[in-house]
Structure 1
Amino acid sequence: MTIFYPGLESLSQPELPSPPSLVQRSVSLAPLTSFRVGGPAAWYAAPRTLEALRSCLQWAQDGGLPLTWLGAGSNLLISDAGLPGLVIHTRYLRGLHFDDETGQVRAAAGESIARLAWLAAARGWEGLEWAVGIPGTIGGAVVMNAGAHGAWTSQLLRQVELLSRFGGKPQLSEPEALAFSYRTSGLQTGEWVVTQAQIQLAPGGDPQRVRTITAEHLRARKSTQPYNLPSCGSVFKNPGPQTAGWLIEHTGLKGYQIGQAQVSQLHANFILNCGGATASDIWRLICHVQDQVEQHWSIRLRPEVQILGEFPAI
């Protein structure tokens, strides 16, 4: 999950201080996203500790730079022009601790939620079976309130550790204070970054049974969703009562293609990079799908994917 802050001063300021050693200039973001598209970050850092993260935040604040948070890159579309300011990749903030007495897991923001689902299943701990097919991090899952099969992240949260984009010390927040709702939360303003989450699971189950259920969830996802080509997962939020995929399919858009971006033949709420697609191809296809569905059903689909940077007017 990422948040982009427009309107701050650009990186070209002559007074920009010297960056910390881990900050790199002009790093391609396409390999770091599941769509495999997008231009470079003007500045990029992948801290592995909170101390390093705070150092990057202080430097960005001193230089008046906009910030973008990047996790697994699985739910975003980055402009071909790239992003100004500093992109902070939180994927390498790692750490897991299972508390056998309470059934709680303390998971750092960069941990894979799918990996955590498998590790919990191996212990016989129930509650995350649904998350096994979600290609994101714990931090991204919290910010987006990721979910599947009628379950979602906020149901399991006990506490969330947050760090202000201005640095300082991490603070603990209760889930009730974070305005969770369908595929969103109050954290999408980007004022705070998730550093870790306390997740409540149900220990004491039979590991073989929990692993079997987890594997069935993954099998079901792979049988109904395309995994063979780059995508961002579901592109649009479900408006109800019909799903976004149903509306797109019954508008006749399965297989529709702009450039090398295509509406999936398997699941219409997926847009695929068929090889060499640009972010602009995907953006134009998103806009086309929205327009066509609105014409047919008088429903304007809202993107679930986070769209960052500058895109051409359609």
Structure 2
Amino acid sequence: MEVLEKELLEAGVGKVLKDEPLANHTTMKIGGPADLLVEPSSFDNLKKTMQLITKHSVKWRAIGRGSNLLVSDKGIQGVVVKLGSGLDHLEVEGETVTAGGGYSLIKLATVISKQGLSGLEFAGGIPGSVGGAVYMNAGAHGSDMSSILEKALILFEDGTIEWLTNEELEFSYRHSILQTKRPGICVAAVLKLKAGSRDEIVAAMQKNKDYRRETQPWNYPCAGSIFRNPLPNYAGNLIEKAGLKGYSVGGAKISDQHANFIVNTGNATAEDVLNLIEHVKATINEKFGVKMQTEVEIVGR
């Protein structure tokens, strides 16, 4: 790892941080250290980073803005590649938008709505990056990324980079092929939107953003929705019916505002959150016979 760190620094790929606490890079403010955290300063430097990681056969994973992510208290072994400010480019040509994987999804929705382009209104209040949104097929208000994505540039586990079409990504509810059959991370996305009334688009997006602000606990560190909706049921409704709103384990608490959110009240550990998740699963299964599945991605040692 020391040799790899030295070579990354010599190559000038961007930020290279040793034993970096991942609590500094997740919206839940939880997570132990990464052996190395690298934030490439450009697409070319991302390619250099991956070439060096592959050369040394070191384990790696990518993160974006750290939402929808719970990192172990013991951290992550190997290299964490953060898609940040070096991969947040934006190009708009007519109704086609190309955004870097590190671009903020909320910012993108805001910028695009002001240009009179429709299709991203649902994303007005979704934290995270474009890359993470493609990976998870993020969605809300009856729409998701699969409805607007034309193709995505994917960085695969072996360090290769390839464009995949919407069909090749095999989208389903909060799922893409990148999570299972072809593990990878989106480093750029091409979106096909539609021109419309600027005022109507901005109003619709603001309505969605206001709704999320009113109904979800963004005043505490959290990772977004913890459980997938076990349709036709809704996770938050089941948790609330089970009397678990406000239930806590250590510093982790089921939000009083929305039962499908677990918040960090100040000193929560990943273990606290995991124990709370298991308690919810057991309770919902016992009371309603429903098996809950996590939407938040749980990673690390």
TM range, smaller chain: over 0.9
Matches within 5 A, 1:12-31: 18-21=6-9, 22=14, 23-31=16-24
Separation in structure 1 between the aligned mates of residue 271 and residue 5 of structure 2, nearest angstrom:
33
Separation in structure 1 between the aligned mates of residue 115 and residue 216 of structure 2, nearest angstrom:
28
3-state secondary structure, aligned to 1:187:
helix
Which region of structure 1 is more displaced relative to structure 2, 218-227 or 264-273? 218-227
The answer as to 2:77 corresponding to 1:89 is no
Matches within 5 A, 1:23-62: 23-62=16-55
**One-letter code of the match for 1:229?**
Y
Separation in structure 1 between the aligned mates of residue 210 and residue 6 of structure 2, nearest angstrom:
49
**One-letter code of the match for 1:240?**
L
Q: CA deviation at 1:141?
A: 0.4
Separation in structure 1 between the aligned mates of residue 256 and residue 43 of structure 2, nearest angstrom:
43
Give CA-to-partner distance per residue, 1:248-281, whole Å, 9 cap, x none. 0011100001111100111100001011111111
- List gaps (5 residues or longer) in structure 2: none
Q: CA deviation at 1:110?
A: 0.5
**One-letter code of the match for 2:204?**
I
The answer as to 2:221 corresponding to 1:221 is no
Q: CA deviation at 1:159?
A: 1.2
3-state secondary structure, aligned to 1:163:
strand
Q: Which residue of 2 aligns with 1:125?
A: 117
Which of the residues 87, 92, 95 maps onto 1:98? 92
Separation in structure 2 between the aligned mates of residue 80 and residue 252 of structure 1, nearest angstrom:
28
Q: Which residue of 2 aligns with 1:152?
A: 144
The 8 Å contact of residues 151 and 189 in structure 2, kept in 1 or not, is answered as yes
Deviating above 4 A after TM superposition, structure 1's stretches of 4 or more consecutive aligned residues are: none
Which region of structure 1 is more displaced relative to structure 2, 47-56 or 142-151? 47-56
Q: CA deviation at 1:46?
A: 0.3
The 8 Å contact of residues 28 and 223 in structure 2, kept in 1 or not, is answered as yes
Q: CA deviation at 1:16?
A: 5.8
Q: Which residue of 2 aligns with 1:5?
A: none
Give CA-to-partner distance per residue, 1:78-117, whole Å, 9 cap, x none. 01111100000012211111112xx010111001111111
Q: Which residue of 2 aligns with 1:186?
A: 177
Q: Which residue of 2 aligns with 1:283?
A: 274
Q: CA deviation at 1:133?
A: 0.4
3-state secondary structure, aligned to 1:26:
strand
- Which TM-score applies when normalising by structure 1? 0.90
The 8 Å contact of residues 58 and 166 in structure 1, kept in 2 or not, is answered as no
Separation in structure 2 between the aligned mates of residue 121 and residue 228 of structure 1, nearest angstrom:
25
Matches within 5 A, 1:262-277: 262-277=253-268
Which of the residues 225, 239, 250 maps onto 1:234? 225
Separation in structure 1 between the aligned mates of residue 97 and residue 48 of structure 2, nearest angstrom:
27
Separation in structure 2 between the aligned mates of residue 62 and residue 298 of structure 1, nearest angstrom:
49
Separation in structure 2 between the aligned mates of residue 167 and residue 250 of structure 1, nearest angstrom:
46
Separation in structure 2 between the aligned mates of residue 16 and residue 218 of structure 1, nearest angstrom:
43
Q: CA deviation at 1:193?
A: 2.5
Give CA-to-partner distance per residue, 1:116-149, whole Å, 9 cap, x none. 1111111111111110100011100000000000
Q: CA deviation at 1:164?
A: 3.0
Which region of structure 1 is more displaced relative to structure 2, 279-288 or 189-198? 189-198
3-state secondary structure, aligned to 2:49:
helix
Which of the residues 79, 84, 97 maps onto 2:72? 79
- List gaps (5 residues or longer) in structure 1: 1-10
Q: Which residue of 1 aligns with 2:250?
A: 259
RMSD: 1.5
